[in-house]
Structure 1
Amino acid sequence: MNVKDSNGAVLADGDSVQVIKDLKVKGSSQTLKRGSIFKSIRVDEDNPEEVECRDGRSTLVLKTCFIKKV
């Protein structure tokens, strides 16, 4: 199953991605700013529209429509 970013590039485990829009994080007062880069993502095989990434000590799940491959 191919997981694609907002531009149609295929994503794989370990890729780096960049946020293309300011996003509010649910359950937190934190906001992910446009241009934030996350390295070493993990592709969710159950849901091809989501990827997991680490932000410090926490793990975030981002929708692929809001990220692009770097």
Structure 2
Amino acid sequence: MKGSSLTLKRGTLVKNIRLTNSAGEIEGRAGGSTMVLKTEFLKKA
């Protein structure tokens, strides 16, 4: 991930998902920290 020391790999589970003001981003908890993720790289499981 850009701007973070944490590397998320394919298949990483994201919990506590919340919507943000931007339609293309969500906020979620992955790898022990809260981060903003772009929806174009996510897949609903």
TM over 0.5: yes
Q: TM-score range by the shorter chain?
A: 0.7 to 0.9
Q: Which runs of 5+ in 2 are unaligned?
A: none
> TM (normalized to structure 1)?
0.55
In the superposition, relative to structure 1, how do residues 42 and 26 fare at CA in structure 2: closer, same or farther (>3 Å)? same
CA RMSD, 1 decimal: 1.4
Q: Which runs of 5+ in 1 are unaligned?
A: 1-23
Q: What does residue 25 of structure 2 align with?
A: 50
In the superposition, relative to structure 1, how do residues 27 and 36 fare at CA in structure 2: closer, same or farther (>3 Å)? closer
3-state SS, counterpart of residue 16 of structure 2: coil
Percent of aligned pairs with the same amino acid: 50
Q: Which has the higher strand share?
A: 1
Paired positions, count: 44
Q: What does residue 4 of structure 2 align with?
A: 27
Find runs of 4+ consecutive structure 1 residues off by over 2 angstroms: none
Q: Which has the larger radius of gyration?
A: 1
Deviation at 1:40, TM superposition (A): 2.5
Residues of 1 paired with 2:34 and 2:40: CA distance?
A: 18
Q: For 2:16, give the aligned amino acid.
A: S
> TM (normalized to structure 2)?
0.78
